[in-house]
Amino acid sequence: MFLVARTLVYASLFVGFLLIYLPARLLARSGIHRPASLGAWQIVGLIVGTLGALLALACVASFIRFGRGTPAPFDAPRQLVVRGPYCFVRNPMYTGAALVLGGAALFYDSIDLLMYACAFIAFFHLFVIFYEEPTLRRSFGSEYEAYCHSVRRWWPVVRPWKPQMPTVTPLGGTTAPRR
């Protein structure tokens, strides 16, 4: 239960600051308000943003259920999370957040939000390359290497990746994964 509470607090802070507070400040600064009516771009923006939010929520649930940890780098999961959305793409939470921002940019017809979404993507791309991936390599070794070899960083694979499990011998020992 404490794990769920920690995860929800960290995820709420991330979402609240990066996906609500900062975009709201950008919109206020540029004088953009909610559209008076819903046109095609607003509907597309709502759909894209909703899909992004659902993807991000599925990621948070995967961290709780499979990782026994949180998405926060300072309270990382105890197990490598390779199930849920993570079996299709290595960074679905950032992808979901970028979709939320892109959807908001469409909804509000805001170039400022679109530029913020691009900066968000660029920042987290560098964060993944220079911090997250090296940390995961140190923490999970060959298991993470096999995952990286099979699942792309940003573009989803068509078939979900399934890690090879070690075979249990009749005497209770394990052998290397079957190839």
For 156, how many CA atoms within 13 A lie in the half-sphere containing its CB? 14
Amino acid at 110: S
Give pLDDT tens digits for 120-129.
Answer: 999 999 999 9
Q: Class of 2-177 per CATH?
A: mainly alpha
Question: Residue 110's pLDDT is what?
Answer: 95
Residue 140 has pLDDT above 50, yes or no: yes
Contact 51, 102 (CB under 8 A): no
Sole residue written with tokens 């209770």: 172
Point out the least confidently predicted range of 2-16, 118-132, 137-151, 157-171: 157-171
Say how many C-beta atoms besides its own lie within 10 A of residue 73's C-beta.
Answer: 11
Identify the CA nearest to 164 among candidates 173, 174, 152.
174
Identify the CA nearest to 86 among candidates 18, 154, 8, 164.
154
Q: Which two tokens stand for residue 10?
A: 């960290």
User: What average pLDDT does this structure show over 64-74?
Assistant: 79
* 102: confidence class by pLDDT, cuts 50, 70, 90: very high
